[in-house]
Structure 1
Amino acid sequence: MTEHIARHGLPDELDVERLDSRVVRRINRLEESAGTIDFAFNTAVMALRARCVVDPRAVEVETWYAAVNAMQLGSALFAVTGVSEGSVECRINRKVRTLPAVGPLSTADAGTWLNAFWLAVICREQQRMTQLCEIPLERLRAPEGEYDEYVYHWVDTLQTYWLRRPGLVEKLTDALRMSDPAVAQVAPPDLLQGLLYPPINLFYHFVTKDEDGFSPALEEALKLHRAYWTLSEDRKADIDGSIALGPLAIACLAYDGKLPIEVESDYLPKHFLEHSWLGEFPT
């Protein structure tokens, strides 16, 4: 039996076209200077979330374009911050662009990496997933005190899984252990329990091919997501809660791996999960 997890109410009077236009303007400026690519990426992710408010099943082609633009910007961010000289060619918004090197950028950290990786997974962009996973972990370290140490174990786990490196079980075990609220010290407990820990737990059920446990873990992740985004009136109105990006990405891995997914929700746009638009446009 398929469980349906209702999405909480979100403001539906959004000027998504204005957000889309802002993303395009920021993309078009990157060839002159890529130093603001992190702002472009964040704006693109916001535009994607806004699109998913008004198109919760990702039926419309504009929602797919929003996902692709966000994915391409996330990958480009790490490409231009990985070199200090010359330029990098990146396909963004339907054309190949030559972006000047930026060099190290404080926002090109583990938290941003996770969002970029989730988007690459959702878009089934395996080459970009590989490029992201080849980034040395030390390059993703933020100033001390910004992230709990488990975040780096989590990134290491994902890189190890995708690149088929040894030590996956040990690294995943460390990520699970160190993300325990009794161990983690930086992330607020509600953020940790509601948004940060559930994808790690869900990934555990995926890599162990736990057919009986995956859907219940996904259901729990979405309920925790909803609980977090309905804890206050401000959160209820925040479009960041429109989709559960991490759980969606791992559900995409499970879907492609033929694990049964017995959960439906607008937090998991159907046509992203089932990659209905795959191959329709160059990415």
Structure 2
Amino acid sequence: MTVDISRHHLSAGPDAEQFAERLSAHLAEGIDGLEDSVGGASLVDSHFDTGLLVLRARCVVDPRAATLETWEAAVNAMQLGSALFAVTEASEGSVECRINRKVRTLPAVGSLPTADAGNWLTAFWLAVICRDQRRMTQLCEIPLERLRAPEGQYDEYIYHWVDTLQTYWLRRPGLVEKLTATFQASDPAVARVAPRDLLDGLLYPPINLFYRFVRKDEEGFSPALVEALKLHRTYWTLNEDREADIDGSIALGPLAIACLAYDGKLPIEVESEYLPKHLLQRGWLGEFPT
């Protein structure tokens, strides 16, 4: 039996539609400026943040991702996330990145503090959701040490988690040991940087879902997904400020793991506006080059 997890209230009227349109136009202008100079390309992290905001704004008004504009928003966010790591890989020369339906030549900018493990996870989730295996591979080939942030910015678990995902996708040995290390390091008794509600509500559930996925746990995956979405909703309704924040419109990590499970033929007995149907079921895949 399919379980429906309702999304908390987010206003989806004409104002929300206009907000999404204005954001999209602003992002398109910013993307066009990326090629202008090293200074322009160094703003790719800011445009990545805006791209994520556009995707979430689109999902407020189009929770099933039934329109092309929402798919475009997902693809643009993915492309900007990948571009962040592409332009920071070298300090000279240029790289070609497809963004917003065009192949663009961006100057390399060298190291940026935002090219870290947190943004890597977000970029990887987007590549999974968009089923862009080439970008997934490129992200997974980034050395883990390059993603390390200054001490105290992240708990150590995040590096175990990135290592686990890279190991899974590149089929390297040691997946079980690395996933075990991720579980151990994400225990609230061990983690010290992430607030407990953030860890419980948003950061840990994708790890548990991934465990169910790699075990091909057909009976356990959907209940774990239900739990993840309920925890997501609880986190984003803790207070009025969070409840109004469009960042809670989709559950990005659980959606990405659910996409892996869907493609792996695991039954997904859950429906929710936190998991836009046409992103989960790759309804727009192949609509245009990504």
Shorter chain as denominator, the TM-score bin is: over 0.9
Give the SS at the match of 1:246: helix
Q: Which residue identity lines up with residue 195 of structure 1 in the other structure? A: L
Instruction: Report how many aligned residue pairs link the two structures.
Output: 283
CA distance in 1 between counterparts of 2:213 and 2:7 reads 23
2:2 match? 2
Q: Which residue identity lines up with residue 20 of structure 1 in the other structure? A: S
CA distance in 2 between counterparts of 1:183 and 1:211 reads 30
| CA offsets 1:91-138 (integer angstroms, 9 cap, x no match) | 000110000001000000000000000000000000000000000000
- Tell me if 1:160 matches 2:167: yes
| CA offsets 1:1-32 (integer angstroms, 9 cap, x no match) | 00000000013232111000111011011001
2:178 match? 171
| CA offsets 1:59-89 (integer angstroms, 9 cap, x no match) | 0000000001000011111000001110000
1:25 match? 29
CA distance in 1 between counterparts of 2:58 and 2:266 reads 28
CA distance in 2 between counterparts of 1:89 and 1:178 reads 37
* Equivalent residues in 2 for 1:12-91, closer than 5 Å: 12=12, 13-14=15-16, 15-32=19-36, 33-91=40-98
Structure 1 residue ranges (4+ consecutive) displaced by more than 4 angstroms after TM superposition: none
2:220 match? 213
| CA offsets 1:199-221 (integer angstroms, 9 cap, x no match) | 00000000010000000000000
* Equivalent residues in 2 for 1:1-283, closer than 5 Å: 1-12=1-12, 13-14=15-16, 15-32=19-36, 33-283=40-290
Give the SS at the match of 1:282: coil
Deviation at 1:235, TM superposition (A): 0.2
CA distance in 1 between counterparts of 2:176 and 2:216 reads 13
CA distance in 1 between counterparts of 2:50 and 2:11 reads 18
Give the SS at the match of 1:278: coil
Unpaired segments ≥5 residues, structure 1? none
CA distance in 1 between counterparts of 2:30 and 2:228 reads 33
Deviation at 1:278, TM superposition (A): 0.6
CA distance in 2 between counterparts of 1:221 and 1:65 reads 26
Give the SS at the match of 1:131: helix
Give the SS at the match of 2:41: coil
CA distance in 2 between counterparts of 1:101 and 1:235 reads 36
Percent of aligned pairs with the same amino acid: 77
Deviation at 1:177, TM superposition (A): 1.1
Unpaired segments ≥5 residues, structure 2? none
| CA offsets 1:186-245 (integer angstroms, 9 cap, x no match) | 000000000000000000000010000000000000000000000000000000000000
| CA offsets 1:150-191 (integer angstroms, 9 cap, x no match) | 000000000000000000000000101110111100000000
CA distance in 1 between counterparts of 2:30 and 2:211 reads 37
Deviation at 1:38, TM superposition (A): 0.2
Q: Which residue identity lines up with residue 164 of structure 1 in the other structure? A: R
CA distance in 2 between counterparts of 1:281 and 1:120 reads 15
CA distance in 1 between counterparts of 2:30 and 2:187 reads 39
Deviation at 1:280, TM superposition (A): 1.1
CA distance in 2 between counterparts of 1:149 and 1:11 reads 37
